[in-house]
Chain A
C-alpha cells in the first residue's frame, strides 16, 4: 500500500508538472483564440491535423521539427545543469548553419559520409566559437551569459543577412539565399517518401550519450554539483566551478551549432534568413519541460515539434498566425517555473 502510494507520488513528480503545464498552455491558447474572435475548434483541429493527422504530418513535419528542438533542448540542458543559462541558442544555431553551408558548398568531391561529417563538425565548432565571447566575458569580467548570449542572437541575425546578400549569396545573385549545398553534404533520408532525415538518429544518439554522461560520469556529477551550489562544489568537492561552467556552456554552444548544421544538411540544404522559426527559444521550454533529463527532452521535443508543425497548418487552414503557439510555450514555461518553486 505504502509502496504503491510512493510509486504514485513518483509518477506525479516525474510527469505531473509537465502534464499540468501542457494542459494549462493549451487551455489558455483556446481561451485566448476564442476571445480574439477566431474559430477555436477549427484552429485546434488544424493544429492536430498538422501535427499528427496524417503520415505526412508525422514523418515530414512533426519529426523533422523535433530534431532541432531535441538538439537545442539538450544544448540548453547541458548549460542549465551547471547553472548557466544559454539564451543565445538562436545565434549559435545560425552560426552553425553558416559554417555548415560554407563547408557544404566546398565538399562536393568528398565521399558522402566524410562530407556530412565535415559539415556537421564545422557547424558544431562554429556554435562553440560563437559561445567563446560570452564565456570569456563571464570568466574575465563576471558578465552574466544570459545577456551576452541574448545580444549575440541579433549579431548572428545580421551576419546571416550579410552572408546571404554577400559572400554566400547564390551565384545568380537573384535572392538573398545561398546556393544549395553539395549532394554529398546532405544527410540521407530515412524513408523514401518523407522528409525525415538521419539527423533524428544522431540527435537520439546524443541524447542517449548525455543520459549516460549525466548519470554515470564524474563530469555529469561535477555539472550537477556546480549547478546546485558553486561555493559548496569548490569548498567541499575541490571542483573549479567556473571551469566546469565554461566547459558546459561551450558544449552547449557546440550542440546548438550542430543543430543549425543538421538543419542545413537535412532540411533546407541552403542558408537563408529566418532559417529557425525561433527554435532557440522553443528549446528552452523543451529542456525545462523535459526537466533537463535527456529522456524527458526527447518526449518534450516530440511534443513541441508537433506544436510547431501544427502551427503552420493552423495558419493555413484557420488563419491563426503561427506565432500563436508561442503563447503555449510561454504558459508552459510559466507554469513549470512556478511548480518548480513549489516542489523544491
Chain B
C-alpha cells in the first residue's frame, strides 16, 4: 500500500504548506472587503517571520507567535497610516512597505543572528495529533496530525465568516468596501473600519510568517516569504472574497507547491524549477478564471 502512504504524505504536506497562505489570504480578505488592496502583506509576513524567529529564540514557540502577530500589526500600522489617514496610493504604498520590510528584516537579522544567519535549532511547533479525529482514515492523518497553529486556521475560517456576514461590524466593513461615500452617508466611520481591517490583516500576515518559521522551515532567511503574500492576493480573488472559498483556494495552492515533494520522490525528468514556478503560474490561471465571474468589492483600490 505504498500509494496510500504517498497520498497521505502529499495531503499532509498540502495542508502544512497551505496554512501560512490561508492566514495571509484570510487577512487580506478582510482588508479587500473594506475596499483596500494591501501589497504590503508580503512585508508584514516577512517581518512576522523574523519576529517569530527572534521571539522563539528568547521565549519559545508561543512567544514567537506573539511577537510575530505584534510585528505584523506594526507593519500594517504604517500601511494604514499612509493609505487610510494620509489617503495615498495603495499600490505604491504597499510596494514601499514590502521593500522597507525586506530592508529592515535583512539588517535586523544580520545584527541578531550574525552573517551566518539563524541556526536550525529554533524551538518549533511540532505536529500534534488530535485524539479521535486523527484516527479517521485518510482525513485524520492529513488534517488532524498538524502543527497546532494549523488548528488555529481551522477555527479562524468560521469566525471570519461570522464576522463578515453575521455581525454589524461585518456589514459596515462590506458597505465600506462597496462604496465608502455611501457607507459614510449611512453613518459608518469608514476610516475606523478600514484601520481595523488592515490591522487584523497585518496580525494574520504576521501569523503567516510565524507559521512559515515555526511550523515549516525552522529558521529565518532573508526574503524567505518569496512572494507568498502576493500569492495570497491571488488566492483571495480565486476564493471570491469568501472565507471558506479562500481557505479552499489556499489548499489548492498548497497542493501545487507540495507537488514538488511528490515529484522529487519519483524520479521525473521535469526540471524542479518548473515546480518552483507552478504556484505562480497557477495563480495567474486562477486570476484569469476567477476574475469577472466573482464580483470584487466595488470600491476596491479606490482613493477618495
Residues 307-344 of A contacting B (Cβ, < 8 Å): 319-321, 323-331, 333-334, 337-338, 340-341
> B104 at the A/B interface (Cβ < 8 Å)?
yes
- Asked if A330 meets B273 with Cβ closer than 8 Å, knowing A141-B291, A148-B287, the reply is no
> A87 at the A/B interface (Cβ < 8 Å)?
yes
Judge whether B280 and A151 touch: CB under 8 Å: yes
Q: A243-284: contact bitstring with B at CB < 8 Å (1 yes, 0 no)?
A: 000000000000000000000000000000000000001001
Number of interface residues of A (CB under 8 A): 52
Judge whether B86 and A338 touch: CB under 8 Å: yes
Minimum Cβ distance to chain B for residue A318 (Å): 11
> A38 at the A/B interface (Cβ < 8 Å)?
yes
Judge whether A162 and B100 touch: CB under 8 Å: no
Residues 132-172 of A contacting B (Cβ, < 8 Å): 133, 137, 140-144, 146-148, 150-155, 157-159, 161-162, 165-166
Q: B240-252: contact bitstring with A at CB < 8 Å (1 yes, 0 no)?
A: 0000000000000
Judge whether A326 and B102 touch: CB under 8 Å: yes
User: Which of A144, A324, A333 is within 8 Å of B95, CB to CB?
Assistant: A333
- Whole-angstrom CA separation of A314 from B91 in the bound complex: 30
- Whole-angstrom CA separation of A100 from B92 in the bound complex: 30
A146 CB contacts on chain B under 8 angstroms: 39, 91
- Asked if A340 meets B89 with Cβ closer than 8 Å, knowing A32-B107, A166-B271, the reply is yes
> A111 at the A/B interface (Cβ < 8 Å)?
no
Q: B273-300: contact bitstring with A at CB < 8 Å (1 yes, 0 no)?
A: 1101100110110011001100000000
B268 CB contacts on chain A under 8 angstroms: none
> A85 at the A/B interface (Cβ < 8 Å)?
yes
Query: How many residue pairs at the A-B interface have CB separations less than 8 Å?
Result: 146
- Asked if A340 meets B287 with Cβ closer than 8 Å, knowing A150-B230, A152-B280, A330-B99, the reply is no
Residues 101-148 of A contacting B (Cβ, < 8 Å): 133, 137, 140-144, 146-148
Judge whether B99 and A36 touch: CB under 8 Å: no
Minimum Cβ distance to chain B for residue A139 (Å): 11
Residues 22-49 of A contacting B (Cβ, < 8 Å): 32-33, 36-38
Judge whether B288 and A143 touch: CB under 8 Å: yes
> B171 at the A/B interface (Cβ < 8 Å)?
no
Could you tell me which B residues sit within 8 Å of A by CB distance?
39, 78, 82, 86-89, 91-93, 95-97, 99-104, 106-108, 110-111, 222, 226-227, 230-231, 233-234, 271, 273-274, 276-277, 280-281, 283-284, 287-288, 291-292, 301, 303
